[in-house]
Amino acid sequence: MVEIVGSIGFAALILLAAIWTLGVRVKLDAGTHTIFGALFFLVGAIALGISSADKLHSLWIIPAGFIFSVLLGLIVGYAPFLFGPFKLLSSVFAGIVRIGIPAHKIKAAQEAGLKASIEEFVSTAERKE
């Protein structure tokens, strides 16, 4: 029974790693916390797959990945000096995942996403006034 639950958890971890990594490739304006979450799930799935560790560990790796992504989003706002290494790792990972996509297309998507975020923030601020 424990092996079945572990296998189901490991399959879910692999699925999350694949979906988030594909999301990094498709959603070109993904934030650093999202990219690092994909990297976390991918490394977790690979490490669990090649090691002799019990697949049941996937049941704590999955929630840890989500929590870590949220915490990384908070670090950006409250402790930007701690954010540097995560930003570097995320940019390297995104560069590898996005091989073959023209740089100008990535930059245009990031600028459009930033513009949309700013417009949303301004409209929210205007509604509060």
Residue-wise pLDDT tens digits, 20-71: 999 999 888 888 888 889 999 999 999 999 998 899 999 999 999 999 888 8
Residue 25 CB neighbours (<10 A): 15
67 backbone dihedrals φ, ψ, rounded to 5°: -65, -40
Distance of CA 37 to the CA centre of its chain: 3
Helix or strand or coil: residue 60?
helix
Residue-wise pLDDT tens digits, 2-13: 789 999 999 999
Looking at this protein, which amino acid is placed at residue 82?
L
- Whole-angstrom distance, CA of residue 113 vs CA of residue 25: 15
Task: Give the domain ranges of the chain.
Answer: 2-98
